[in-house]
């Protein structure tokens, strides 16, 4: 990639802001708004940061890989992580080093720009494009030059929410065109090569599959197509409601037909007014090779050849895929891997959306030697693309939104699989995707077997749980999300999976459509065996269930929230809201039992407390907190300022009529909480109760104190103030004696305003001015 000048220039602006932040001239929240679009997220605890470096199409040169590894050792904690968008992350970076880190990366045309926030995220492409036997078109050049084009534009960093683009070179659809905001799927039409375009896909708490936007466009039109979608999204996307602002929601709201109409208009406008042409990337010529792969009688090497090696499109060359467990690799090892180029000149590296690292352009005769070198560096790299190759996000240890520690679960699953499933049918035919929360960084919805983390309260104690999903897949037009089946405690997931796999191992031999099988028969099996895995023993009996995988301390939600990327606590909020609603529905059916009404009020009151870092277990406590945090501060309506009294007044001894009144109160209260939740902004802040503040400041009492303000600034301020009120409104302006009182009223009169009254006070004047039709 050629790093656009704009990014290089913008680095200095970033550094300026960083300095201001370090010198305490800028606060945390404001600086967050700057650093996140630069790809710097805070780790849980907010002491260190993660840098997400974009790797367009996953193509990463040896020198770039080396620079990333060096930077991780120099500024980070020595770990690197390959993401499901082909980025490489460096973890544990100190904020003061972020500027220098960017300088180092800049030297090899890398940048974390757009790694996070409401930006055009890393553009993904098939990791093997250009060398894959199946591809229709080589697509990584498109990912790269489109990145260059989009990174130059200011609006690429200021979209309603993140914007994801993917390219797939054939219908195998490595990149998942239909789970991106815009997906380009290579295709052929009447002998011409181009793309089918899909729009509006995306995973998250509410996943959606993209729909066909263009049946065929030539490659030259990619820039127009993306710009048109982006412009429509920029103009029309929901910027306020954080759980409703991806492109998929815009399309949902206006309908796909209306969206297409806007798109057609925008394309026409762009073609009339702009000339969008992506850089042409020259193709690299390679020497021909006709070597053969050496055969050696070594069991592990044979497995390596079977699972890790595949022939390249170009004769005589092989591609080697290295499984990176959980996408993680130490910087030290990454450095050594990048150094392989010295021994095997000409090799290339690619990151994949399945969090692995490919070595490409390996001469066949070098495969064995390369294998022995890799073995000296890595220990766990066999079996990519199998059940063992779990796709998993970073989870609750580092991520602000993580609920469960998904990498910990992944380790437990891998240990179980290695013991008894290597080489089995399920091993070769299935995959597992794990998310630590209902967001989809681990892409659980498209996993054949998917798990996402959530929490459930058991006896008032929060516990890590996972939802089981079955039958997801990413396969161009046949992309489907898995069905959500059941919820089980985190600690039972490996046991459940072990039993589930053992059963289906015997059944899937003759089955072709395994995804359909999973959705029907798989679901049935799950339902049959789930009973044995859903029980949670009381704390006194088995503490283990209360401790998440890979952790020693008990599970808690501490630190969850204030998410920097998307959401997560939202699900916790929603679960309380649902509980509250369910109780009210029941109460209505059962002649308004006091207990249910009280519980409903408790859940309503507690729902939003989590964003204020409060997690009360007791009812009384929740009501107290709510009163302190939401009522006293004016966030919630004054109508509920009596909540403490009402709550304690509800009892079974009240006559039914009275209990019904309380029920109506509880229903109104829940509605109010839902409204507050809707009004919550992306930083989990609430607008202050508008109705109340406005009543306190009626229009008639507008006051502008200009005592001590000299001429003509006093007049300027009065003029500015009057600009922002409605015609006919009145403001009382306080002015000093002398020049101010002599001049300002005169000037305001000549602007067309009406001086209603001038009143002399002690050393100053109070002038009532009525806004009249504005100045000319």
Partner 1 sequence: MSLRNDQIERYSRQIILNDIGGKGQERLLSAKVLIVGAGGLGSPSALYLAAAGIGTIGIVDSDNVELNNLQRQILHSTGSVGKPKAESAKETINKLNPDVNVVPHKLRLTSENILNIVRDYDIVIDGSDNFPTRYLVNDACVISKKPLSHGGIFRYDGQAMTIIPGESACYRCLFPEPPPPGLVPSCQEAGILGAVAGIIGIIQANEVLKYILKNGELLKSKLLIFNALESRFRLVRVPKNDNCAVCGKNPTVTKLIDYQEFCSLKKIDCSIK
Interface residues with partner 1 (CB under 8 A)? 5-6, 9, 149, 152-154, 273-277, 712-713, 715-717, 719-720, 723-724, 751, 775-776
- Shortest spacing between CB 37 and partner 1, in angstroms: 16
Distance CA 121, CA 41 (A): 14
Distance CA 318, CA 137 (A): 19
Kindly tell me which of 69 and 731 has the beta carbon lying closer to partner 1.
Answer: 731
- Shortest spacing between CB 382 and partner 1, in angstroms: 46
Residue 153's contacts (CB-CB under 8 Å, 6 or more residues apart) are none
Whether residue 228 contacts residue 208, with contact meaning beta carbons closer than 8 Å, is answered with no
Residue 543's contacts (CB-CB under 8 Å, 6 or more residues apart) are 554
Residue 290's contacts (CB-CB under 8 Å, 6 or more residues apart) are 315, 316
- Shortest spacing between CB 719 and partner 1, in angstroms: 6
Kindly tell me which of 649 and 773 has the beta carbon lying closer to partner 1.
Answer: 773
- Shortest spacing between CB 737 and partner 1, in angstroms: 21
- Shortest spacing between CB 604 and partner 1, in angstroms: 36
Distance CA 567, CA 516 (A): 31
Residue 391 structure tokens? 């796709």
Distance CA 626, CA 495 (A): 41
- Shortest spacing between CB 717 and partner 1, in angstroms: 6
Kindly tell me which of 441 and 733 has the beta carbon lying closer to partner 1.
Answer: 733
Kindly tell me which of 18 and 208 has the beta carbon lying closer to partner 1.
Answer: 18
Q: What is the DSSP letter of 281?
A: P
**What is the residue whose two structure tokens read 């369910």?**
582
- Strand, helix or coil for residue 477: strand
Concatenating the DSSP letter of every residue in 455-475 gives EEEETTEEEEEEEEEE--B-B
Cα 146 to chain centroid distance, Å, stands at 22
Kindly tell me which of 146 and 629 has the beta carbon lying closer to partner 1.
Answer: 146
Kindly tell me which of 414 and 751 has the beta carbon lying closer to partner 1.
Answer: 751
Kindly tell me which of 8 and 755 has the beta carbon lying closer to partner 1.
Answer: 8
Cα 352 to chain centroid distance, Å, stands at 19
- Strand, helix or coil for residue 173: coil
Residue 513's contacts (CB-CB under 8 Å, 6 or more residues apart) are none
- Shortest spacing between CB 75 and partner 1, in angstroms: 28
- Strand, helix or coil for residue 445: helix
Which of these, 461, 462, 439, lies nearest to 452 by C-alpha position? 439
Concatenating the DSSP letter of every residue in 515-555 gives HHHIIIIIHHHHHHHHGGG-----TTT-GGGGS-TT-SSPP
- Shortest spacing between CB 479 and partner 1, in angstroms: 33
- Shortest spacing between CB 771 and partner 1, in angstroms: 13
- Shortest spacing between CB 133 and partner 1, in angstroms: 35
By DSSP bridging, strand 754-760 and strand 764-770 are: antiparallel
Kindly tell me which of 651 and 750 has the beta carbon lying closer to partner 1.
Answer: 750
Distance CA 621, CA 565 (A): 31
Kindly tell me which of 208 and 718 has the beta carbon lying closer to partner 1.
Answer: 718
- Shortest spacing between CB 721 and partner 1, in angstroms: 9
Distance CA 710, CA 766 (A): 16
Kindly tell me which of 342 and 724 has the beta carbon lying closer to partner 1.
Answer: 724
Kindly tell me which of 149 and 465 has the beta carbon lying closer to partner 1.
Answer: 149
Cα 532 to chain centroid distance, Å, stands at 34
- Shortest spacing between CB 155 and partner 1, in angstroms: 8
Residue 160 structure tokens? 């309603």
**What is the residue whose two structure tokens read 């009543």?**
695
Kindly tell me which of 12 and 534 has the beta carbon lying closer to partner 1.
Answer: 12
> Quick check: bond before 712 cis, omega within 30?
yes
Residue 317 structure tokens? 């060359």
- Shortest spacing between CB 446 and partner 1, in angstroms: 35
The phi, psi pair for 238, rounded to 5°, reads: -80, 115
Kindly tell me which of 134 and 723 has the beta carbon lying closer to partner 1.
Answer: 723
Residue 684 structure tokens? 């989990």
């Amino acid at each position: 990639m050629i790093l656009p000048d704009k990014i290089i220039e913008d680095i200095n602006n970033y550094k300026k802001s960083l300095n201001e932040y370090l010198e305490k001239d800028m606060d945390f929240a404001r600086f967050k708004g700057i650093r996140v679009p630069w790809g710097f997220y805070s780790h849980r605890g907010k002491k260190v940061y993660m840098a997400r470096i974009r790797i367009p199409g996953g193509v990463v040169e040896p020198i770039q890989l080396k620079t990333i590894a060096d930077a991780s050792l120099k500024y980070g904690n020595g770990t690197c992580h390959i993401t499901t968008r082909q980025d490489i992350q460096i973890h544990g970076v100190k904020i003061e080093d972020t500027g220098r880190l960017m300088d180092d990366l800049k030297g090899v045309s890398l940048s974390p720009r757009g790694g996070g926030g409401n930006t055009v995220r890393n553009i993904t492409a098939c990791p093997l494009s250009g060398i894959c036997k199946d591809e229709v078109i080589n697509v990584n050049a498109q990912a790269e030059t489109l990145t260059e084009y989009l990174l130059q534009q200011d609006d690429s960093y200021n979209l309603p929410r993140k914007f994801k683009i993917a390219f797939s070179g054939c219908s195998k659809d490595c990149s998942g065109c239909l789970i991106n905001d815009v997906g380009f799927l290579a295709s052929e039409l009447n002998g011409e090569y181009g793309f089918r375009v899909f729009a509006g896909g995306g995973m998250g708490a509410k996943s959606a599959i993209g729909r066909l936007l263009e049946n065929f466009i030539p490659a030259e039109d990619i820039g127009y197509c993306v710009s048109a979608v982006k412009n429509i999204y920029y103009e029309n996307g929901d910027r306020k409601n954080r759980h409703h602002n991806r492109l998929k929601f815009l399309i949902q709201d206006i309908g796909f037909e209306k969206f297409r109409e806007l798109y057609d208009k925008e394309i026409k406008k762009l073609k009339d007014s702009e000339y969008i042409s992506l850089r042409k990337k020259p193709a690299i010529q390679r020497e021909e090779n006709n070597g053969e792969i050496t055969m050696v009688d070594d069991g592990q090497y044979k497995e390596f050849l079977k699972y890790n090696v595949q022939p390249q499109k170009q004769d005589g060359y092989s591609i080697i895929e290295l499984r990176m467990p959980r996408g993680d690799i130490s910087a030290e090892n990454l450095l050594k891997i990048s150094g392989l180029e010295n021994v095997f000149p000409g090799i290339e590296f690619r990151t994949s959306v399945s969090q692995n690292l490919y070595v490409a352009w390996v001469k066949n005769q070098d495969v064995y030697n390369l294998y022995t070198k890799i073995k000296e560096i890595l220990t766990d790299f066999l079996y990519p693309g199998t059940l063992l190759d779990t796709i998993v996000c970073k989870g609750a240890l580092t991520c602000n939104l993580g609920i469960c520690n998904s990498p910990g679960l992944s380790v437990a699953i891998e240990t179980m699989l290695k013991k008894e499933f290597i080489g089995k049918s399920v091993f070769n035919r299935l995959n597992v995707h794990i998310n630590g929360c209902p967001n989809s960084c681990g892409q659980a919805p498209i996993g054949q077997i998917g798990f996402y983390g959530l929490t459930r309260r058991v006896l008032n104690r929060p516990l890590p749980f996972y939802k089981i999903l079955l039958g997801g897949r990413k396969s161009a037009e046949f992309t489907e999300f898995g069905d959500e089946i059941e919820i089980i405690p985190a600690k039972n997931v490996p046991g459940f999976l072990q039993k589930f796999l053992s059963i289906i191992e015997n059944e899937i031999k003759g089955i072709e459509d395994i995804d359909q099988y999973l959705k029907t028969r798989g679901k049935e099996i799950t339902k049959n065996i789930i009973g044995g895995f859903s029980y949670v023993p009381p704390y006194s009996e088995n503490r283990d269930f209360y401790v998440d995988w890979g952790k020693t301390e008990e599970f808690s939600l501490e630190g969850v929230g204030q998410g920097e990327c998307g959401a997560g606590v939202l699900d916790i909020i929603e679960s309380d809201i649902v509980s509250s609603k369910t109780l009210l529905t029941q109460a209505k059916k059962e002649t308004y039992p006091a207990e249910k009404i009280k519980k409903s009020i408790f859940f309503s009151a507690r729902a939003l407390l989590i964003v204020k870092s409060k997690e009360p277990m007791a009812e009384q406590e929740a009501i107290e907190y709510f009163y302190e945090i939401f009522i006293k501060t004016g966030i919630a309506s004054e109508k509920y300022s009596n909540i403490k009294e009402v709550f304690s007044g509800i009892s079974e001894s009240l006559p039914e009529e009275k209990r019904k009144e309380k029920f109506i109160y509880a229903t109104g209260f829940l509605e109010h909480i839902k409204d507050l939740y809707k009004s919550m902004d992306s930083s989990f802040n609430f607008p202050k109760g508008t109705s109340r503040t406005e009543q306190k400041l009626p229009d008639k009492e507008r006051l502008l104190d200009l005592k001590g303000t000299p001429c003509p600034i006093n007049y300027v301020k009065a003029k500015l103030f009057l600009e922002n009120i409605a015609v006919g409104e009145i403001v009382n302006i306080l002015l000093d004696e002398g020049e101010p009182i002599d001049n300002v009223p005169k000037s305001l009169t000549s602007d067309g305003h009406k001086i209603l009254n001038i009143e002399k006070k002690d050393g100053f004047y109070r002038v009532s001015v009525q806004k009249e039709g504005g100045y000319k």
